[in-house]
A and B are shown apart, each in its own frame.
Chain A
Amino acid sequence: MFSWDLLANAVVAGLLLGGFYAAVSLGISLIFGLLDIANIAQPAFVIVGSYAAYVLHDAYGFDPILTGILLTPVFYLLGALVYRIYYASFERRGDEALRGLVFFFGLLFIIEVSLSIKYGVDYRLVQTGYLSRSIDLGGVGIAFRYLVPCLIGVAMTAALYLFLGRTFYGRAIMAVSQDQAALRLMGADPIHIKTIAFGIGIAAASLAGALLISIAPVIPSTDRDYIGRMFAITVLGGMGSIAGTLVAAMILGVVESLMATFFGPSWSLAVSFGILLAALAVRPAGLFGR
């Protein structure tokens, strides 16, 4: 007997999860989609955000999401620094493709190992009063633990969308992704603009990490589960399209949730890989591709 209740619950849970996935993927959408920098260390920065929220919550009882927001300037500077190293070592020499990729892979590994040396491989979770509540809407349960991250994810998407479309620096980032040489001719420094964009991408990881550790327990190697998801969302959404990122994240969330409900949670990881392959095979430009 097919249960409509189960289906409705799965779809709602998927949409909520999708909003959170959008928060996680915005950074890579900006860095990989727009700047074309294959930063596969992005999920590791998200995990750093998670552990920062965990440590500050554990020591001083700080709210995880507030911590995530307050730490964005620190992550921004970290991102700017990483980009400068990347630029000086690879982009300027013109061999960013292969060695740049290896650089970020090494960075991912260093972050992961450092975290497991410092904090061990125990699962960590941050629980707060308001996040453990839930509401019931006609048989469909909505946990605040998922609702809050989803809403923040949607808000982050909207903020980034407005920033890129309406502000001077946002438009400059769009310009640098389209034609770097032309931007230089207009008197703007593309490296400066890219540093800002990369910094914002990493800053997004701070908040995404805080959301992640509020939703589910985190270990240092959790980052690997998100590599496939992030890139699947970015490609499906259409490289660099911010609205596309949100839609693709929702699709991935719903498909994963349906898989988990009807086939078992251990298969949901395979979904992102399947979507990534399908998107690249059928429509490489993505849903909202340019």
Chain B
Amino acid sequence: MGRTVPALLVGLAVIAAGIVLALVRVNPYFYFAGYVILQFVVIATAWNILGGYGGYVNFGTPAFFALGAYTAVVLIRSLKAPLPVLIVAGGLVAALLGLGIGYLTLRLRGVFFSIATLALSVVLQTIIMNWEYVGGSRGLSILRPSGPPFGNYGVFLFTVMLGLAVVAVMTARFIERSWIGRGLAALRDNEEAAECMGVPTLRLKLFATTVSGFLLGVAGAPFPYYVTFIEPNSAFALDYAVNALAMPMIGGTTSWIGPIIGAVLLGTAQQVAIVTISSELNLLIVGVVLVGFVVVAPEGILGLVRRLRTR
């Protein structure tokens, strides 16, 4: 744990830099695009806690993300709750779903677990589409609160997401370096063997699915304020599921820095592609890059770097 203090300082420095950036007020598009990239840092990091460390591939990222977003919608409509409350509540509700799929791992392993999470996403979307209070399938407009810090809500959300990204990465880094991370790595490599060696596999899996779910919900909670119009098809977009696994896969799944590399590279590439080419073509790029990486460089960019170093 000797390197925890410097890491905390780096985290604080990043947040401070974000606040300075918010005060400087560069081109508004920068904050708009930056928010999306930071949101993907949170999503990719959260996915990697379960998928990269524990080896359980979750295709249901949109379910958790949208659950966070729709929890926020309910709280905005009923209580006009402030943003921090939305984020914590969105995270907690998604964490509950995470705990649920954690118990699912008792029965469903490997492929079946992944299919179940994908199906879960479809079912949850069906429920939301039938629920008129949150807009049903037609969607719902969300009014942003007036008088935000930094004088602009988009800039404010950017700094909030930056803070969330730092928290997510710190959490992942802590898990990776503690006995929890080693336990998860053991069950990723061989669950039966880990169980036999006394690794508390169920508790570890429940922990990983809950934390992963919490962070995914946290990433989704500010989403209604970001888009100002929420509807199921955008909140449950398959893009989140593909990005959530493409980014860690491209960066490297065994280290906390892998998802950041993947999210920044792929997120930036997508933002550039949306502006210069088209929004659908940019999704195609994600798919092709993902398949290309799993076929050619299964260890991701970190693996490539490691291979170059040992040569």
Contacts and interface: CB of A to CB of B under 8 A. Distances in A.
B283 A109 contact: yes
Nearest to A40: B115
Contact of B238 (A93, A221, A267): A221
A288 interface: no
A50 B161 CA distance: 42
Contacts of A112: 238
A280 B280 contact: no
A203 B227 CA distance: 42
A103 B287 contact: no
Contacts of B286: 109
Contacts of A5: none
B108 interface: yes
Nearest to A282: B107
Given A113-B283, A227-B119, A228-B119, A281 B294 contact: no
B123 A110 contact: no
Nearest to B236: A224
Contacts of A93: 298
Interface stretch (B22-30, B146-154, B164-172, B242-250): B242-250
B contact patch SS: helix
Interface in B234-273: 238, 241-242, 245-246, 249
A224 B283 CA distance: 17
Contacts, number: 108
A89 B122 contact: no
B290 A106 contact: yes
A225 B127 CA distance: 14
A106 B287 contact: yes
Interface in A88-142: 89, 93, 95, 97-99, 101-103, 105-107, 109-110, 112-114, 116-117
Interface in A224-269: 224-225, 227-228, 231, 235, 266-267, 269
A273 interface: yes
Given A85-B295, A276-B115, A280-B107, A110 B245 contact: no
Contacts of B242: 105-106, 109
Contact of A98 (B55, B115, B291): B55
A6 B111 CA distance: 38
B119 A99 contact: no
A97 B110 contact: yes
B120 interface: yes
A280 B108 contact: yes
Contacts of A117: 280-281, 284
B111 A38 contact: yes
A250 B116 CA distance: 21
Interface string A10-49: 0000000000000000000000100000101000000000
Nearest to B295: A89
B291 A110 contact: yes
A214 interface: no
B53 interface: no
B101 to A, nearest CB: 11
Contact of A225 (B108, B122, B290): B122
Contact of B294 (A106, A110, A116, A231): A106
Contacts of B238: 109, 112, 221, 224
A99 B111 contact: no
Nearest to B281: A117
B130 A277 contact: no
Interface string A145-172: 0000000000000000000000000000
Interface string B271-308: 00000000011011011101100110010000000000
Given A101-B111, A101-B114, A228-B115, A270 B126 contact: yes
Contacts of B129: 266
Interface of B: 55, 57, 59, 107-108, 110-112, 114-116, 118-120, 122-123, 126-127, 129-130, 238, 241-242, 245-246, 249, 280-281, 283-284, 286-288, 290-291, 294-295, 298
Given A101-B57, A106-B287, A235-B112, 6 more contacts: A38-B115, A103-B294, A109-B238, A110-B284, A113-B283, A276-B116
7 contacts: A93-B298, A101-B111, A109-B238, A116-B280, A235-B112, A273-B120, A273-B122
List the 8 closest A-B pairs by CB distance, nearest first.
Answer: A106-B291, A110-B287, A228-B119, A38-B111, A273-B119, A106-B290, A109-B287, A89-B295
